[in-house]
Structure 1
Amino acid sequence: MPSQSTQRRFWWCAALTVATIFSLILVGGIVRATGAGMGCPDWPTCFGQWVPPTSEAQLPDNYQEIYAERGYADTTFNVRKTWTEYLNRLLGVFTGMTIFATLLFSIPYRRREPRIFWFSMVGFVLVGVQGWLGSQVVATNLHTGLITLHMLLAQVIVGVLIAALIRSGRANYRDIRIDRLPRLFYPLFIVAMVAGLLQLIMGTQVREAVDLIARSSNFQDRHLWIDNLPLVFAVHKYYAIALVGLNGWLIVSVLNHSDSRILRQLSIALGAFLLGTIAIGMSMDRLHMPMFSQPLHLLLASLIFGTQLAILLVLRHALEDDKANALREHESMASLSTGGV
């Protein structure tokens, strides 16, 4: 196994990358909610510059005609939207740097724990794909389907890196007693994760509908948006009640029956994210979708998925270790029995 210092470097770098991607999901949500996606109408530069302008006076007098010829009609410089999108891109570049460092620190794992290396490699490749997809979002003038795909790919990247993180700490799960949890805990946890993914997909459909309504109203009259949403919004809202109930039972089960520190901490975090999602969801419904609510709602949904995945992987590793220990004990007993004969 790699040395403790090597393991520590990998863990902190991978954790930083995961935190950065969650931050990128939040900033991406802010970009989407504020309509700042075309704040930079070209890529990778912004208004043809590596550092965007701070005022319209720094652009050519005919810049609107230039971008209209490129297929971006009605391009108007807005310093707030431009710098919001530019900071989103800078954070994306920083994410690329941290995932590359994570890949480098995963190299010592290639022989003993090759999955950690390959998870890191997949994450690195997908971040490159994510960057290309971001350029296509700009090239297609914010095509809603590509924006949704862009967001879902971020969830996949987070999932891959969480898998690498959990795998790197596998030695810490050997003492977890799975048999202390309720009999139905593991299968119901799988159900909760699948149901959560379905909820996330429905949420993307709601988000696309909100985008269309927001654009048609020029991001005005927010109090009318909910009334114009399709049926999937109602399903998404009331389906959440069943999800909270199921996850609540799972959280209570861990707190009552498990003495594993990591499982308890992850379960408490999951409960906090669920409560936060409920609060933000209520604000969206009662306060007519305030601007802060959509990015936070997306971030919390992503954190719920990431925390559920972490719990599932810890349980799986603990279950694998239990089976391995049982097999070794059985072989040892068989050997003693044979020796006795």
Structure 2
Amino acid sequence: MQLSNILKITLVFTLMVILMGAYTRLSDAGLGCPDWPGCYGHLTVPNETHEIAKAEQYFPEFTVEQDKAWLEMIHRYIAGTLGLMVLGILIICLRQEEAPKKLPVFISALIIFQALLGMWTVTMKLMPIVVMSHLLGGFTLFCLLFLLYLRTKPLRIPGGDIYARKLAPLAVLGLVVLVIQIMLGGWTSSNYAALACTSLPICEGNWVDNLRFADAFSPFQGEHPSFEFGVLDYPTRMTIHVTHRIWGVITAILLLWLAIKLLKAQSSTMRNSGLLLIALVIIQVGLGISNVVMHLPLSIAVSHNGGAAILLLCVVFINYALWRKA
């Protein structure tokens, strides 16, 4: 099988890991297994009566919830399989003379760090800064694998489109703004602030007078037995939510501006990228509004995470196309 085809499969698998991670987190199953890498000392979820009794003896502060534990373990199984696939890609790249070397080595190092973040997510009891870092690591891995795919299968992007090339700085700005928005989304989710505001367009009540930016974005939240369900008070969570929502409006406007400008490019690749970007932004905004109106239904919340990953990939491609040498 060609390296490009293996990377396609790996990209799909990475998206599955991102979606499964979001499903696990949003189902409050992040501590479904209180230890790592096993589950209550087992390779699978304790099932027999004596296994459950022994598990609760060793972890008296936890009650074995098999549904949540299986969500957590399935996520780990898929992530572990992804790690093996990345290792295989590294070996192939090192053996093929024409294949990139530095990027697959970096990707392999990143996935090891991702495994550590996964462990710390459990051992540090869902500390928000660790949970958000784990989410960002997954998105970064997704983008780097996509860049490796683009490098192993060169695309035909005309270099003479001077108009499109002039949009490169705007594309970088769009990427930076989008990354910040994804970070804010991760911070909102890891602090259980997604339902801090349940009205549109901003928030209910006198929200302006209750903003607490210093507390809302401090990575240090003190020592707690567990960060599950959040430890911040309402005004602080509301500040996180409002910031994510307002920055989302800024992100949408900027990306739509970039997309509209791309529609005027000579290159059909860039015009199609502009159309795709418009569609993805509209879908993502719609999912965000639906989360508020429908009070965070699990399917829409998970789709919102997946939509962010696909949107990021689209913007990464646009930057790759505009900045690569003619």
Correspondence list, 1:278-297, <5 A? 278-297=285-304
**In structure 1, what is the equivalent of residue 322 of structure 2?**
315
C-alpha contact 2:273 2:314 (8 A) present in aligned 1: yes
Deviations 1:18-62 (A, max 9, x none): 22112111111111111111112222222222222346x252425
C-alpha contact 1:27 1:88 (8 A) present in aligned 2: yes
Deviations 1:137-164 (A, max 9, x none): 2122222221111111112222222221
C-alpha contact 1:209 1:230 (8 A) present in aligned 2: no
The question of 1:179 aligning with 2:162 is answered yes
**In structure 2, what is the equivalent of residue 253 of structure 1?**
261
Aligned length: 295
Correspondence list, 1:260-271, <5 A? 260-261=268-269, 263-271=270-278
CA distance in 2, matches of 1:212, 1:172: 42
The question of 1:153 aligning with 2:137 is answered yes
Name the structure with the higher helix share.
1
How far apart are residue 194 of structure 1 and its match?
A: 1.2
**In structure 1, what is the equivalent of residue 24 of structure 2?**
31
What CA RMSD, in Å, does the superposition of the two structures yield over aligned residues? 2.9
CA distance in 2, matches of 1:295, 1:23: 11
Could you tell me the percent identity over the aligned residues?
Answer: 20
Deviations 1:166-223 (A, max 9, x none): 22233633x343314384x22211111111122122222222331698999x97xxxx
CA distance in 2, matches of 1:269, 1:226: 37
Task: Please say which structure displays the higher CA radius of gyration.
Answer: 1
Amino acid at match of 1:308: V
CA distance in 2, matches of 1:226, 1:29: 23
How far apart are residue 270 of structure 1 and its match?
A: 2.7
Alignment gaps of 5+ in structure 1: 1-7, 220-224, 322-341
Which stretch of structure 1 is more off in the superposition, 299-308 or 268-277?
Answer: 268-277
CA distance in 2, matches of 1:171, 1:295: 31
Residue of 111, 123, 143 corresponding to 1:139: 123
CA distance in 2, matches of 1:182, 1:149: 33
The question of 1:168 aligning with 2:152 is answered yes
Alignment gaps of 5+ in structure 2: 197-224
C-alpha contact 2:195 2:295 (8 A) present in aligned 1: no
TM (norm. structure 1) is 0.77
**In structure 2, what is the equivalent of residue 204 of structure 1?**
186
C-alpha contact 2:291 2:297 (8 A) present in aligned 1: yes
Deviations 1:247-298 (A, max 9, x none): 123223323323333x344434333321221111111111122222332222
CA distance in 1, matches of 2:301, 2:14: 17
CA distance in 2, matches of 1:207, 1:196: 16
What is the SS of the residue equivalent to 1:230?
helix
Amino acid at match of 1:304: L
CA shift in 2, pair 1:227/1:19, >3 Å:
farther
C-alpha contact 1:130 1:153 (8 A) present in aligned 2: yes
CA distance in 2, matches of 1:144, 1:43: 18
C-alpha contact 2:259 2:273 (8 A) present in aligned 1: no
Amino acid at match of 2:93: S
CA distance in 1, matches of 2:193, 2:77: 24
TM (norm. structure 2) is 0.80
